Amino acid sequence: MPEGEPDWVSCADLLGEPARLVRWRERLGGWLAETYPEAPGIPERIPASWILSWYLHVPAFAGATLLHHARRVPSLAPSALAFRIGADRPHPGSVAVLGGGFHCLPTDPGSARPEAVVVPDERALATVLRGRFVAHASRFIDVYGPLTRLGRRQLWAAATDALDNALWSAGLLGGTPEAEGAGVADAALVLESRFPPLTSASKLTLATGADGRREWTRNRESCCYSYLLPAESECGGCPRIR
């Protein structure tokens, strides 16, 4: 992990000690109580669902970012990933890939390196990414699920949201319509159909906004329950309102 920087957490260490996940969720619950002092109490499912989504963002973000920018897929095993929890809002503010190995295309400049595994085309690369993400998500859900009252469908719906959103966001961060479109195309490639236990294909669609402009939008598979907080309403794309 990055040296000399505090608050980095190894995914493997976290999954190996489930009590740390409970403490992280409790810390988030405390932060929510401070942020919403008018709330009579913070329902347990809010921090439970936020930690669920935040953690799953880590392998999804690592895989989607390297696919988008380098056409590579790193190891997404818990031992190969770490993240840093924010000092104020306790979310994963930074993500680190610890392993050096990767899958890539034949045209990759690093394809001859010993740590590279070459696959024939982008569809094969997408299959590797999806499989590695699902493997990590499955390990996390097996550990985290019994610590919550969230159902298994909700757990895998959140995993689907994490992967679809990460692929889209990797393009959005490019700051241009072309970059966003490339992210949408990656999401369609990786999630071209439903691959159980994931709960849907990519749900990105073009919609016409109030100003008449066409823009990409997405309906969520899972709920974050933020609408239960004072003065908050359902998120855009919330499954409760469609």
pTM over 0.85: yes
Nearest to 220 by CA among 189, 241, 206: 241
Mean of the per-residue pLDDT values of the chain = 94
Quick: pLDDT tens for 103-159: 999 999 999 999 999 999 999 999 999 999 999 999 999 999 999 999 999 999 999
Rounded-to-integer distance, Cα 95 and Cα 84, Å: 7
For residue 112, what are the contacts with CB-CB under 8 A and spacing of at least 6? none
Let me know: does 59 contact 136? Beta carbons within 8 Å: yes
Encoded amino acid at 234, one letter: E
